[in-house]
Amino acid sequence: MHIPQQAILKEVGPRDGLQNESTTISTDDKVEWINHLSETGLTYIEITSFVHPKWIPQLSDSLQVAKQIKRKPGITYAALVPNQKGLERALEADMDEVSVFMSASESHNQYNINKSINATFPVLQQVVSEARAANKSVRAYVSTVFGCPYEGEVKLEQTLRVCDRLFDMGIDELSIGDTIGVANPIQVENVLTTLERYYDKNAIALHFHNTRGTALANVLTALQCGYATFDSALGGLGGCPYAKGASGNVATDDLLYMLSEMGLTTEVELPKLLQAGEFIQNKLKKSLPSHQMQMVNKGGIT
Amino acid sequence: MHIPQQAILKEVGPRDGLQNESTTISTDDKVEWINHLSETGLTYIEITSFVHPKWIPQLSDSLQVAKQIKRKPGITYAALVPNQKGLERALEADMDEVSVFMSASESHNQYNINKSINATFPVLQQVVSEARAANKSVRAYVSTVFGCPYEGEVKLEQTLRVCDRLFDMGIDELSIGDTIGVANPIQVENVLTTLERYYDKNAIALHFHNTRGTALANVLTALQCGYATFDSALGGLGGCPYAKGASGNVATDDLLYMLSEMGLTTEVELPKLLQAGEFIQNKLKKSLPSHQMQMVNKGGIT
């Protein structure tokens, strides 16, 4: 099996995970949790989102969180920004990287951002340009690449059009999202072998959700296609707003288990990750759904 | 991606699933559940185990279950048999196929069967010979191929030695088991590309447990190696006696979702499968852990 020797895990639990959790986590607990995560070997943590507080009340303390965490050298601390206003706050928070986002499907973009795809481009262009002028690296999320909750199938040309525009804006990395967790390995192979004709594999991350249990099979396919950067959330935190009760992001701990057993190096230490998982599930007052955390919780093999 | 166009799912929920469940299911409910399963398009159902009732009280009504179910033409109804005594009861029950079992690792074999590996061979040889003389097909399970709860790593030559002896006995199919759910795709590739040097791929099934969430990635690897027969349990029923609370067999419904989305044909119908899942989880008074059943239970996308 020809796969990369190393993988990069980008932890999105504090943002993509927590934004889908209904139990409010205090600012102090978020800060303590992110500080825990900083000690696990992770090199990238998306800590919050600078969206308007009314959109995501859970993350309304983004500025305080960003200012209070202990920054560890070597770790990129990133945050989501939807627009110019969000960027201003992210710059005030001195984030290392900002992430913009949009969808490959028109209706999901409209629902999520309240703009058409065409109307989104200039907004993101301004954010990207100003972030770069401020010496920040920029990541862009493209949602619904593998399926849309409103439109179903999403044509690859829709994704390519959005990716083209985002790279033209000057982003450093693109994160390709299976927002509703419908992707299958054949589809992943089709999408990734097409993308590689146009873009550098090292500039693309995969953002899989485990809604239907296929996330690790999709990760495996991405590795076989030569891609090595994966977004994940510790413990499989978060959920899917389009499938109540379903799993959220692929779990960092389950992903790390598979990658480590396959011999890939990641720099992340599973025992420390599981301790950080225990911390946040205590605060959330619920068991995290990942397989590794289930085993921790039930006193089994770790 | 080069993979088979068709896959065969062998449902082991009524045996491998139920034997790990503590809630007692009545004979009538088992019979009704198996009758449900017979209507889903499955072509193989392992309905029970003819082990001594003191070993697995849940399956002590094996003979009644086997006699009371409605046999649907085209479906192979199978049962586990540990020895000569079990075979006699399986023949009395007129099973289509019997399954013998042993382990690749000495200590698991000793613990599970109370015999050494060498002492197990003649016992199984007698069962296989008599079953074949009675015109029954015979399957053999080899446990702990990918790891042993007592010994850890299991050398491939141990597996090969056991497989050789079992095929020499005249078995029709070998089911290669990841008993404790530790397998990873690289290991699956190593094992399967070695086995294919000696045995017909069509005579080998893969029996993955999803204890660490890697089962579907392992299935994908097996498909890429040209293997197309998979054991699974509806809803991810059952557990792992070596990792309390951890997931059991790979879930038939999650497996079916992935295979169908990848374009493989299986003849099994997911909606009917999920109805059969709802039936047995009501009897077990608990939610089944598969992703598909979670979505059913929480009113999400099915």
Tens digit of pLDDT for each residue in B111-136?
999 999 999 999 999 999 999 999 99
Domain assignment present for residue A1? The answer is no
CA nearest to A47, candidates A85, A74, A16, A91: A16
Distance CA(A210)–CA(A177), nearest Å, equals 12
Domain assignment present for residue A160? The answer is yes
Q: Is A217 on the interface with B (CB under 8 A)?
A: yes
pLDDT for position A243: 58
pLDDT for position B244: 59
DSSP-derived secondary structure letter, A251: B
Inter-chain residue contact B1 with A184, CB threshold 8 Å: no
Domain assignment present for residue B302? The answer is no
Beta bridge partners of B8: B229
Q: Which of chain B's residues have a Cβ under 8 Å away from the Cβ of A290?
A: 213
Q: How many domains does chain A have?
A: 1
Whether residue B234 contacts residue B276, with contact meaning beta carbons closer than 8 Å, is answered with yes
Domain assignment present for residue A2? The answer is no
Whether residue A112 contacts residue A71, with contact meaning beta carbons closer than 8 Å, is answered with no
Distance CA(B223)–CA(B200), nearest Å, equals 14
Beta bridge partners of A171: none
| DSSP-H helix ranges across A226-269 | 252-261
Residue B245 has pLDDT above 60, yes or no: no
Question: B148, B163, B225, B240: which one is catalytic?
Answer: B240
Inter-chain residue contact B290 with A213, CB threshold 8 Å: yes
pLDDT tens for chain A, 302 residues: list them.
999 999 999 999 999 999 888 899 999 999 999 999 999 999 999 999 999 888 888 889 999 999 999 999 999 999 999 999 999 999 999 999 999 999 999 999 999 999 999 999 999 999 999 999 999 999 999 999 999 999 999 999 999 999 999 999 999 999 999 999 999 999 999 999 999 999 999 999 999 999 999 999 999 999 999 999 999 999 999 876 665 555 689 999 999 999 999 999 999 999 999 999 999 999 999 999 999 999 998 875 44
Domain assignment present for residue A302? The answer is no
| Token reading at B160 | 């090969």
> What ipTM does this complex have?
0.95
Specify the 3-state DSSP secondary structure of A147: coil
Inter-chain residue contact B185 with A295, CB threshold 8 Å: no
* Residues of the domain holding B12: 8-297
Q: How close, in Å, is residue B173 to chain A by CA atoms?
A: 26
Inter-chain residue contact A258 with B301, CB threshold 8 Å: no
Which of B184, B220, B251 is opposite residue A262, by nearest beta carbon? B184
Question: What is the count of residue pairs from A and B with beta carbons less than 8 Å apart?
Answer: 140
Domain assignment present for residue B3? The answer is no
pLDDT band at B302 (very low <50, low <70, confident <90, very high): very low
Domain assignment present for residue A197? The answer is yes
Residue B168 to residues A267, B16, B198: CA-CA distances in angstroms? 46, 26, 12
Domain assignment present for residue A141? The answer is yes
Indicate the pairing of strand B229-232 with strand B8-11: parallel
Domain of residue A250, CATH code: 3.20.20.70
